[in-house]
Structure 1
Amino acid sequence: MAVYCEVSFPLPVVQSFLYKVPAELKDRIKIGSRVVAPLGSRRLAGYVLEIKFLEKDPQYKVKEIIKIIDSRPPIPEGFVRFAQELAFNSLSSPGLFLEMAEVDGQEEKELIKVALTEKGQVETEQKNFKGKKKEILNLLKDKSLTPNFLKRKLKIKNINSLLNSLRDSGVIEISQKTIRRKASLARPLPQSKQLTLPGITGFRSEPVRQILGKLDQGKSGQFLLFGSFNDRLEVVQSLLENLRFFPSYILLVVPEILQIQKWEPIIEAWKKEIVVMHSQLPERLRREAWQQVISGQRKIILGPRSVLLLPVQPVSLILLDEEQDDLYYQTEGPSFDAREAARIRAEEGGLVIFSSSYPEVSHYWHNRERQTLINLGGEKKVYSTVFFTGEIDQLLEGEVKSEIDNRLISGDRVFFFVQRKGYSSYLYCPGCGFIPRCQNCQIALTFKKEEGLRCRYCGYNTEVPEACPVCGKKLKTGKIRGSQYLEERLSQLFAGQIIARLEEGLDGQQEKKLLSKINAGKIQLIIGTEYALSRLKMGMFSLAVIINPELSLNVPDFRAAHQTYVSMSKVADLLANEEKSKLMVITAMPDHPAIREGARMEYQKFFESEIEYRKLLNYPPFSLLIEINLRSNSIRTSGRLSRLLLEKIAEKFPQVEIIGPKLSRSVWRKSQKEIKFYLRLKNQEMVRELRAFFNNFRIGHPGARISMIIWE
């Protein structure tokens, strides 16, 4: 009986490839083994997904595995199954996820160094070279450097051609050295079939009892932990205390590396049992952390979404904090949703807890219906809220200015929240706040002079109305009053005050220095965008001014109201919860639920309003909405593939509503355009069939890059 295996390579192709296992490797090959195999004219390293025993050879020629890479232990079989399921759901390659799981990186690393020759020393002293070649030689005077360092330092794109030219001239030499190191993987911790719970301890005993009771049954499942951050942290603390002696791993996941700092109380309390892992750790520290994990010394792992791809087993608990954050969706190489990854990892008997003060509306609704919602109650807020409906220039010279003056005199800090990075221009009525919306999607229409009003969801077009259909006033073009404009106005009104702008575009050092001054109280007036909200400490301001929050309601996204609510609540979280603290909101729409309830941090009231709106318009959770993005090497090819794809969807799934398509810019690469459309389904029954369909389409059309986001 011949032995074959399915191998997946870390390439952007969804299919695996069948190879024959030579007789000398039959006893050594395992699921999860890393092997070298021929692919076309190349020899590539890949991962064994499945081993097959066939009585008859296939009717076509099958190539053989060349070798097994023995320097790496096989990846655990359970993790391989996880990578396969995640790849299937994400329309990606299991090999890419398995490559990401190799924390140690490459066991062989090529180190290339460039140095001056004796001739080069002389030529450099005599200054016989000019331009970029001269700059390269000057840097190499005292030491050898890597090509990558030279490329970054001198900002040279064609560094290799310049180095080859200098080498041919005999002025430099390029040496190459192979560094080898032993790789290691985590061994599964011993685990009993059923966990024996100790006595439940801690202040938050009831929610902890509910969570651990599920875990004690040995069943997988999920919960939504809803409440203030401090209350949620208490539950986590109690969970860790009760799980301390369980022979399993706990993954604590945050949306971005920056938010790890919020978890300092947990890190300090569990410093002997917790390890922090993320991509910005130096390689030596990352390897040390990994050794502590695989030895079982530290079983609590805190980090961003990448910790979900650590091949540790078993995992009893996964907690995703701030579950509503879009940063949990990775759009580049390979694309996947960390929330989906957490659900899949928990299917082998673990629990996943989604945690938030302002969870996504659909997620809150689903968990309430399933009775998996853990409501910790809200923290009583004592700050006051004031709404203004006027022009910012006038208000800054009136009541708002006098309030700011009082705070500055008392030495308090004041925060201004603006949305400097806006979206395409839109139309609005300055009299009643009316905004033209798509008749199909109820999304704010984008205004462009050459096109009129256009929907960014379905492509609906209409002419610009001459006047507001509600009150008859002339519509105005909505433009965002950005941070630079506000800084200029504040400089005029508060002469001598240092004003800080915390926004996109700052490098690491600039941001660090700015935050240090803000935290020390050296700067009292701070202007920030959404970017600032996760970088400032909660409770550090006595006054916050939110300017035109209604602008975010005009984002062409059915979740715009929730995103507005989240921003409003995050700003309110920056206020010290004291009676003297005040939140001032300058808006044309003070009665919109997202703005009114967001300022007061009344999630329940906002939820009840928003869920009715979504029910009326058949948005999630009352339907399933799938966003499909398709791109390829050229926009012409993308257009052809999208037409073919839409024809096949309409033919195979006639009951699915298709919205679009439209041409849009890639989120992460603004110069790259992609085709975007939406599918609306009644329920989840068809989702797996659709995923299989898209995976097969990718196999048949390798040039198509397809990603999908599901809102349920």
Structure 2
Amino acid sequence: MNAPRFAAVVLPVPVSRSYIYQVPSGGGLTDRVVPGARVLVPLRRRSVVGIVTETATDPPSAAVDIKPISAAPDDAPALSPALLALGRWMSDYYGAPLGLSLRALLPGPLWSVARPAGPAPAAERLFVLTGNGVDSLLERERRFKRSPKRRAVYETVEALGGSAPVSHLVNQLRLPRNSLDALVQQGLARIERVPEMRDPFAGLSSPPPPSLTADQQAAVRGILATPVDMPVLLHGVTGSGKTLVYLHVLRHLVDSGKGAILLVPEIALTPQTVARVRGVFGDQVAVLHSGLSDGERADAWRALRRGERRVAVGPRSAVFAPVQQLGAIVVDEEHEPSYKQASAPRYHARDAAAMRAQLEGARLILGSATPSLETLDQAAQGRIVTFALPDRIGARPLPPVEVVDLRSTPRIPAAETGVIAWSEALDGAISGALERREQIILLLNRRGFATFVQCPACGNVPGCPQCAIALTVHQTPPALRCHYCGHEEPIPETCAMCGHVTQRLRGLGTQQLERFVGMRYPRARIARMDLDTTTSKWAHHHILDRVARGDVDILLGTQMIAKGLDFPNVTVVGVVDADTGLHFPDFRAGERTFQLVAQVAGRAGRGPRGGRVFVQTRAPEHHAIRAAAAHSVAQFAAAELPLRTPPQPPYPPRTGLVRFVIATDDHARTAELAEKVAAWLRRAARERLDGMLTVLGPAPCPLMRLKGKWRWHVLAKSTEPHVLGRVVRAWRAKAHRAVSVDRDPQSLL
């Protein structure tokens, strides 16, 4: 009789421990309960899904009442050894409970049910090699001596990982069906029926990619010649064709039987992007993003895990895609702050990609026209190899940028524009482009109609009752809304404080800009793209498809229009107010402004007609504005890095940073707890860390109240990564619910 086995199971909850369960000897569970497997276990009076992290034959204690595992729903572990190791690394590096780190690795539906979520309604036929007796070259020669076509088919499927849909082999690869049947009859393959994947992108037109330029060819050769364990930065100006380089490198790897992951920012994950990838890889592509249904995401996850699809495309969470035989991870627009998760485990997808590539022996490729200062610093230290694409495709020049000083430049009279600062230079450029039937992009990185409403008599500004922030005015539909907690209330007709009848709208948002532009250029066809117009599943696609067809003359919106759009007929780009984020109380404010302005400037002049960019600002001498106007990353870095280097207060990349955010319902309690956190950190620095930790604070957060919680923060800095690692792991053991830990924070608000 076999000795009973026990399993350590981690649950997706914020506690720093595992739970011990017994593995029942019957029911086929013995072989399924292995590290990485999903299991259904009892917890108090309910059943929950957990992940097995260890198994053993010895019980932890004879006195413990150990409950049995209820079920193990999967034929194979949901997490590979490499992904399980990645989850452990995330827990240790970011100081998050292991359960929360592992929760991030799987799609949500797999945590809420005990079987793979959303079974597809139909099934497709999968051709699977059995591997019977053809491992040796001599045996292969004997088996296929009289049938070279059959051998070619066998080795083609072998290169695809040993399995592929029959429809793909016959229709896309043009393999003879009789050869497939013969391999089945020989016992060298079998046909399996598997759920057919629901693919919302199946109807996209996917044209083949254009030929590479000489610069692109050199970049592809250089990347493939670089040792696999050396990360690569592809630094190309906007319009230089970085995506084509990625796709050619990935095609080389996929053709050799490897899999790949392409990460793109959520707002850049458009059908246009998917179509370009599918033009190279066909139906080998699985798309993962939040706009898909639970069933569609589960289908994509299963197809990747089974090896039926070899290329995963998606935003931040796609870094955990179960791609088989992973050969490369590409992080496009690596500077994007959206790669950082805001909730625990608060991982950065770029850094998680680097660790996963290291664990699986895969290549890491970072790409950007405006790389983060952290990545530039790594490259300067020789830890990343850089390949440059200095020119646009077709040798088209980067568009000239005119910095418009709103303090002194001639402007359209306020009687015609209201609160909108509208320079004569931008106005004339738009009018001229419309006359020539060219297209215009206008950026204003602020949603809503007006920033706030104010009483002109007493100065009262309606604020959110849950957050320390003014409510934003919206007109479609009319309401005051909080962009942080979602609170909504009617726009007041009279002041709640003094009863004054007239209320004034202050500030500018994309809704008001849309109304003004429609009145200023009445014949123009206008589309607005921001969070309010893109909530439905295919909203991005419909808007951008109209632009591509030429049905839109002016596209205006927030930062989502600054990324990845390629419309050759766009000849004018206007940044309506470049100062919206420039003066935030955050050390990255200048960097974010530079990247946003430089990126949106790159949308102009991609066609034969060229283009111009107008940047309206009241800070024309700011180094972020000047560098963006010059399209120069080097100029920005040369001005910004000294501001983060001693004798100035050091900030990343000159030091590592951890942010402790304390949030409770009571302001006094929050302040008291923040003092205790700071005291604990200072004591640790003094007694255990040899003074290698600098502690700043505590202080109220710039956004001092959010969602009903009062917020303070404490910053911990160190140039030694292991010091910050010790700090976050020590705090994890304390597990205080009111304190969140954010290592490498992307925002200090």
TM beyond 0.5 = yes
Comparing 668-677 with 584-593, which one deviates more in the overlay?
668-677
| Mapped partners of 1:498, 1:350: distance in 2 | 47
* CA distance in structure 2 between the partners assigned to 1:400 and 1:57 by the alignment: 73
Report the CA distance shift for 1:499/1:90 in structure 2 as closer, same or farther (over 3 A): same
Q: 2:584, 2:380 → 1: CA distance?
A: 28
Give the CA deviation at 1:516.
4.5
How far the C-alpha of 1:346 sits from its partner, in A, is: 1.4
- What secondary structure sits across from 1:66 in the alignment? coil
The answer to whether the Cα contact below 8 Å between 1:480 and 1:551 also exists between their aligned partners in 2 is no
Q: Name the residue aligned to 2:314.
A: 303
Task: List aligned pairs for 1:408-557, cutoff 5 A.
Answer: 408-421=434-447, 480-487=507-514, 489-491=516-518, 493-506=520-533, 507-508=535-536, 514-534=543-563, 536-557=565-586
Instruction: Please give the alpha-carbon distance, in whole angstroms, between the structure 1 residues aligned to 2:510 and 2:585.
Output: 23
Report whether the alignment pairs 1:276 with 2:287: yes
Indicate the SS of the match to 1:686. Answer: helix
- 3-state SS of the aligned residue for 1:316? strand
Kindly provide the amino acid, as one letter, of the partner of residue 92 in structure 1. Answer: A
| Deviation of 1:374 (Å) | 1.5
Question: Could you say what secondary structure the match of 2:581 adopts?
Answer: helix
Contact 1:20 1:62 in 2 (8 A): no
CA contact (8 A) 2:240 2:389 kept: no
Q: Which whole-Å deviations, capped at 9, do the CAs of 1:30-63 have from their partners, x for residues lacking one?
A: 2123334444454433221112454x85386252
SS at match of 2:714: strand
Post-superposition Cα deviations, 1:273-326, rounded to whole Å, max 9, x if no partner, equal 333233433455445544543443431211122222223443221111111111
Contact 1:227-1:376 at 8 Å conserved across structures: yes
Residues 482-520 of structure 1 show CA distances to partners (whole Å, capped at 9, x for unaligned) of 445544554554445454433331243776655454444
Q: Does the residue aligned with 1:271 lie in a helix, a strand or coil?
A: helix
Relative to structure 1, the CA distance from residue 633 to residue 405 in structure 2 (aligned partners, 3 Å threshold; closer, same or farther) is: closer
Map Cα deviations across residues 624-664 of structure 1 (whole Å, 9 max, x no partner): 22222344676666555433332221111233222233344
Q: Compared with structure 1, are the counterparts of its residues 19 and 362 closer, same or farther at alpha carbon in structure 2 (3 Å cutoff)?
A: same
Structure 2: distance between partners of 1:212 and 1:535:
25
Say whether the 8 Å CA contact 2:33–2:72 is kept in structure 1. Answer: no
Counterparts of 1:138-287 in structure 2 under 5 Å? 203=214, 204-215=216-227, 220-228=229-237, 230-256=240-266, 258-260=268-270, 261-282=272-293, 285-287=296-298
Q: Secondary structure at the match of 1:576?
A: coil
Indicate if the aligned counterparts of 1:103 and 1:310 stay in contact, CA closer than 8 A.
no
Separation (CA, whole Å) in 2 of partners of 1:674 and 1:107: 31
2:714 corresponding residue in structure 1? 677
Aligned to 2:368: 356
Give the one of 637, 648, 664 matched to 2:680: 648
> Is 1:69 equivalent to 2:72 in the alignment?
yes
| Whole-angstrom CA distance in 2 between matches of 1:43 and 1:512 | 40
**3-state SS in 1 of match to 2:15:** coil
1:658 aligned onto 2:685: no
For the structure 1 residues 424 and 660, does the alpha-carbon distance in structure 2 shift closer, same or farther, using more than 3 Å as the test? Answer: farther
In 2, distance between residues paired with 1:358 and 1:666?
Answer: 28
2:39 to 35, 44, 48: 35
Whether the 8 Å contact between 1:547 and 1:586 is mirrored in structure 2 is yes
Structure 1 residues 584-603: aligned runs within 5 Å: 584-603=614-633
Which amino acid letter does the alignment assign opposite residue 77 of structure 1? P
For 1:270-419, what aligned pairs fall within 5 Å after superposition? 270-282=281-293, 285-332=296-343, 334-348=345-359, 349-379=361-391, 381-391=397-407, 392-394=411-413, 396=422, 398-419=424-445
Kept in 2: contact 1:420–1:480 (CA 8 A)? no
Partner of 2:192: none
Question: What is the rounded CA distance, in whole Å, between the counterparts of 1:96 and 1:59 in structure 2?
Answer: 29
Structure 1 counterpart of 2:64, which letter?
Answer: K
Q: Distance in 1 between matches of 2:514 and 2:120?
A: 54
CA contact (8 A) 2:400 2:611 kept: yes
* 2:730 aligned residue: 693
Asked whether the 8 Å contact 1:346–1:352 carries over to 2, the reply is: yes
Distance 1:628 1:72, change over 3 A: farther
What CA deviation, in whole Å up to 9, does each residue of 1:422-452 have, x standing for no partner?
Answer: 9999xxxxxxxxxxxxxxxxxxxx999xxxx
TM-score normalised by L of structure 2: 0.68
**In the TM superposition, what is the alpha-carbon distance from 1:603 to its structure 2 partner?**
1.6
Q: 1:604 to 1:667 in 2, by over 3 A?
A: farther
Does structure 1 residue 6 correspond to structure 2 residue 40? no
Q: Are the counterparts in 2 of residues 388 and 587 from structure 1 also a CA contact under 8 Å?
A: yes
> 1:624·1:711 contact (CA, 8 Å) conserved in 2?
no
Instruction: Flag structure 1 segments of 5+ consecutive residues without an equivalent.
Output: 111-177, 426-445, 449-478
Deviation at 1:28, TM superposition (A): 5.8
- 1:102, distance to aligned residue in structure 2 (A): 4.7
Cα distance change of structure 1 residues 539 and 651 upon mapping to structure 2, 3 Å threshold: farther
Q: Which letter does structure 2 place at the counterpart of 1:644?
A: K
- Contact 1:407/1:542 (<8 A) preserved: yes
- Alignment deviations for residues 4-29 of structure 1 (CA, whole Å, 9 cap, x no partner): 43210112223223445566676763
Identity across the alignment (%):
21
Aligned to 1:114: none
Alpha-carbon offset, residue 256 of structure 1: 0.7
Q: Which amino acid aligns with 2:578?
A: P
Aligned length: 579
Question: CA offset at residue 268 of structure 1?
Answer: 1.0
Calculate the TM-score normalised by the size of structure 1: 0.71
Is 2:713 the partner of 1:706? no
Number of the residue aligned with 2:594: 565
RMSD over equivalenced CA pairs, Å: 4.2
